[in-house]
Amino acid sequence: MIRVKLELPENIVERIDQWVKEGRFKDSSEAIRIIISLYEERERTREFYEMLTKRSGEAKEKSDILIPFEES
């Protein structure tokens, strides 16, 4: 892994420290890695939803060969 310097607002650091004390994470590095991973997952989900919505619009235009997303 690569080390990076990260500057965060004090309240965010306090919140992460609290989560570590509560046992939610092993340490602050793990917390930040997981938080970033969750954000990446959310973005992939958003992109997938946008693709489905676009595809659903295409299905409405070509209803003879495609099924719209809303009609599942």
Residue 1 falls within a domain, yes or no? no
Q: Which residue has the higher pLDDT, 67 or 45?
A: 45
65: containing domain: 11-71
Q: What is the DSSP string of 2-24?
A: --------HHHHHHHHHHHHTTS
pLDDT: which is higher, 24 or 60: 24
For residue 5, tell me if it sits in a domain: no
Residue 71 has pLDDT above 70, yes or no: no
Question: What is the reported pLDDT for 54?
Answer: 82
In a domain, 2, yes or no: no
Give the count of domains, the chain.
Answer: 1
Tokens of 2: 């690569």
**Position 70: which residue type?**
E
The answer to whether residue 6 sits within a structural domain is no
Average pLDDT, stretch 33-56? 92
pTM greater than 0.75 (yes/no):
no
> Integer distance in angstroms from the first to the last C-alpha of the chain?
43
